[in-house]
Amino acid sequence: MPKIVDPEARREEVVEAVFRVVRRDGIEQASLRNVANEAGLAIGSVRHYFDSHTELMVFAMRAMSERVGARLMAHLETLPEDPRKAAVAMLCELLPLDERRRDEATVWLAFAMAARTRPELQPHAAKVHDDMRRLVGRVLEGAQRLGRLPKDADLELETERLCALIDGLSVEAILQPDRIAPETMTRVLLRQLDAW
Name the CATH superfamily, with its identifier, for domain 53-194: Tetracycline Repressor, domain 2 (1.10.357.10)
C-alpha to C-alpha distance for 128 and 111, rounded to whole angstroms: 11
| 62 alpha-carbon distance from chain centroid | 10
pLDDT in the model for residue 160: 95
Residue from 145, 155, 146, 143 nearest 193 by CA: 143
Residue from 39, 32, 46 nearest 16 by CA: 39
Please give the DSSP secondary-structure letter assigned to residue 37: H
pLDDT tens by residue, 143-157 = 888 888 888 989 999
Question: Is the overall model pTM greater than 0.75, yes or no?
Answer: yes
pLDDT in the model for residue 78: 65
In the chain, CATH 1.10.10.60 covers 1-51
Residue 77 has pLDDT above 80, yes or no: no
Considering 15-19, 68-72, 77-81, the range whose residues carry the highest mean pLDDT is 15-19
C-alpha to C-alpha distance for 154 and 152, rounded to whole angstroms: 6
Q: Which CATH number fits domain 1-51: 2.160.10.10, 1.10.10.60, 3.40.30.10, 3.40.50.720?
A: 1.10.10.60
Residue 127 has pLDDT above 80, yes or no: yes
| Higher pLDDT among residues 75 and 166, named by residue | 166
In the chain, CATH 1.10.357.10 covers 53-194
